Amino acid sequence: MVEFKVVINDTKNGKSHQVQVSGHHANSLIGKKIGDEVDGIFISLPGYKLQVTGGTDKNGFAMRRDLPGMSRRRLLLSKSSGFKPKEKGLRKKKSIRGNTVNQDIVQINMKVTKHSSKPIDKLINIEKKDEGEKKEEQ
């Protein structure tokens, strides 16, 4: 079963929130590309619209917007996302993940594009309380 850590950047407050997504909600995120908009219901945030901005795979390699597909590739990079050279003109061959979400992705970064009437803090706290009650019952 697929499980993602989704990091949500709230552009209104300047805060980030981390949410665990698994099950059929996680399966609905597979195949989304960087830049795609997702309904907040998949991340337990009804009424919100979120945009995929990036992520990392199970080995820590970053996703890159301009690299199509799901696979990992080695690219010769100059100054860009995924490589910050210490000298001017330095280039290096680095492994980078494609721009499409698949089973190997562990973390997905998203930003809020449309806000709801309820704040994210309260929606996430309600979800955490529900999980805590379920664990106590078992």
The count of C-alpha atoms lying within 13 angstroms of the C-alpha of 45, restricted to the half-sphere facing its C-beta, is 31
- The per-residue DSSP string of 80-128 comes to BTTB--SSTT--EEEEEE-SB--TTEEEEEEEEEE--SS-HHHHHHHHH
> One digit per residue, pLDDT tens: the chain, 138 residues?
789 999 999 988 899 999 999 999 999 999 999 999 999 998 889 999 999 999 999 999 999 999 999 999 999 999 987 789 999 999 999 999 999 999 999 999 999 999 988 888 888 877 666 666 655 555
d(CA 3, CA 90): 37
pLDDT number for residue 82: 79
pLDDT number for residue 69: 93
d(CA 93, CA 41): 39
pTM of the model: 0.86
pLDDT number for residue 128: 65
